[in-house]
Structure 1
């Protein structure tokens, strides 16, 4: 789409990142394959269950995660293409990005949400209404600057680097869950974090080598050599 090139190390880092996700989800996958029989609490007899396919037994959240990955990748790619075609500045990209989302949010809010007085009193109680509204205002302001930084990162570095950074920033979150919030530190979780870290290092080396080769190519072109 952008006439770019992908090196072998870049593909290797991508494979490692995908492998990290598979390792992290492997416990859920194996739990479906090795599902324990459900027993009747009174008699202890196994309860007969209907046939369930392997895909049907998986958590539906993985389907939504896969759909989210596809949509997010398409969003980043087409946003970069649109920035290049129209010559948008970062503030322009941020402005239109947020402006286009307002009609969708307003329509679905009016159609789905309950705007009655009872619902408002329940969701925004008078005791902490100011705190909730202040938190929502802060969240909205933070979203504006996140949108700006997203447009800047995609324009300066590229969609591949932006996506890789977005994947790598999940590793500290996963590690903090083990260190501070009591998540189990089993072989699968630790291995997934380690493989993800290796993927980041491999990608950094790949981009460094690619930049060095590009500089050498430009130097040869400037000197009149092929």
Structure 2
């Protein structure tokens, strides 16, 4: 159900672009969005469950995810008028994005008393911990940088859609590499996801040929 609701965030992002930025999406883009939601439903229909608190948090997550993509796109566009160079590069965006998240991170660390745990944990004396945490930081920085670059080159809707579509090859790889048993529902889900990718790719190719 998590995947189903996360795909709803793509619809919110596309709708937000249409409403706030007056960006008109091709019909095939909307078809792709609907196919992705149907694909997620087909994959998650065997383990649907309801919990009011969980649904509330997930719906909030959908709105925040869509808001993040749209706000970031707006900031990138606004930077063209606000900066002398008429541009805000990816490194600057990553730096600002992480600096702005520091106050919230500090509040959460203090609120959940993580400082005391950090000082007492034996993990700090393990070289492997530092290796893994450093690698995690480097990979996180790389993800932030590539995300900023991708969003700068394209639209918020494309950014969200590609982020969802990449789960399809991961699902196929998991089935093939780890011999995961799959059901008819999961197979239909993957097929619909691939079909959604085809519709979206065709829509982008058509837009590029017309521009």
Is the shorter-chain TM-score for this pair beyond 0.5, marking a shared fold?
yes
Aligned ranges for residues 38-117 of structure 1 at < 5 Å?
57-58=50-51, 61-87=54-80, 88-116=88-116
Structure 2 residue corresponding to 1:6, chosen from 11, 17, 25: 25
Higher helix share: 2
Q: How many Å separate the matches in 1 of 2:73 and 2:135?
A: 27
Relative to structure 1, is the Cα distance of residues 183 and 70 closer, same or farther in structure 2, using a 3 angstrom cutoff? farther
TM-score, normalized by length of structure 2?
A: 0.78
Contact 2:124 2:130 in 1 (8 A): no
Shift of 1:109: 0.8
Q: How many Å separate the matches in 2 of 1:204 and 1:95?
A: 32
Aligned ranges for residues 113-152 of structure 1 at < 5 Å?
113-116=113-116, 120-122=119-121, 124=123, 126=125, 129-152=126-149
Contact 2:73 2:151 in 1 (8 A): yes
Structure 2 residue corresponding to 1:191, chosen from 188, 193, 200: 188
Aligned ranges for residues 180-219 of structure 1 at < 5 Å?
180-214=177-211
Q: Secondary structure, in 3 states, of the residue corresponding to 2:115? A: coil
Shift of 1:211: 1.9
Post-superposition CA distance 1:22-79 (Å, at most 9, x none): 11111123xx5xxxxxxxxxxxxxxxxxxxxxxxx45865554333222111100110
Question: Are residues 1:163 and 2:160 paired?
Answer: yes
Larger radius of gyration: 1
Relative to structure 1, is the Cα distance of residues 174 and 60 closer, same or farther in structure 2, using a 3 angstrom cutoff? farther
Shift of 1:113: 3.1
Shift of 1:123: 5.1
Post-superposition CA distance 1:135-179 (Å, at most 9, x none): 112211221221111111111111111111100111122223333
Q: How many Å separate the matches in 1 of 2:59 and 2:174?
A: 23
Q: How many Å separate the matches in 2 of 1:201 and 1:17?
A: 11
Contact 1:98 1:144 in 2 (8 A): no
Shift of 1:134: 2.0
Contact 1:90 1:151 in 2 (8 A): yes
CA RMSD between the two structures: 2.2
Q: What 5-or-longer segments of structure 1 have no aligned partner?
A: 33-56, 215-226
Q: How many Å separate the matches in 1 of 2:120 and 2:180?
A: 36
Q: What 5-or-longer segments of structure 2 have no aligned partner?
A: 1-19, 81-87
Q: How many Å separate the matches in 2 of 1:109 and 1:167?
A: 30
Q: How many Å separate the matches in 2 of 1:196 and 1:59?
A: 28
Runs of 4+ with deviation above 4 angstroms:
58-63
